[in-house]
Amino acid sequence: MFNKFKSQIIYVQIRNNSLTIRSPKENKTVTLDAKKAFSTNRLLIGEFTVAIELLTEGIHQLANSFIAPVIIMHPIENIDEKLSEVEEKIFKELALNSGAKEAKLWLGNELSDEELLDYE
């Protein structure tokens, strides 16, 4: 009964001026290319407000409930060996400002739907 109130997992891959947003539970994926650039030469997320608007749009296309999702952010491009504290904060704040209940950050290989569902 209480599983109905469980937060949905949303997986976001971030590339230069593009977001791929996936809901493993719903088996849906949407890729959104920014009409106005959010990436800069130095930063994957250089224009924070533009990125929030794009991510919020994608979440609304996938979300299946009124319960805020858990968003796993996965930066793909413009990443050196590791992220600075400031970069980590940008990615987490991007998710939270886009409606996430909780924001996680993933660095590494792409996560499969099975791995994402195991997180739930």
Which residue ranges form the domains of the chain, and what is each CATH number?
Answer: 2-119 (3.30.420.40)
Closest CA to 75 of 115, 118, 36, 46: 46
Cβ(99)–Cβ(70) below 8 Å: no
How confident is the model at residue 3, as a pLDDT?
53
Burial state string for 44-70 with b = 16 or more CB within 10 A and e = fewer than 16: bbbbeebbbbbbeebbeebbeeeebbb
Vertex 23 angle, CA 82 and 75, to 5° = 15
pTM of the predicted model as reported, rounded to 2 decimal places: 0.91
Within the chain, strands assigned E span: 9-15, 18-23, 28-33, 70-75, 102-105
Q: How confident is the model at residue 75 (pLDDT cuts 50, 70, 90)?
A: very high
Q: Which residues contact 109 (CB under 8 A, 6 or more apart)?
A: none
Instruction: Quick: pLDDT tens for 15-33.
Output: 999 999 999 988 999 999 9
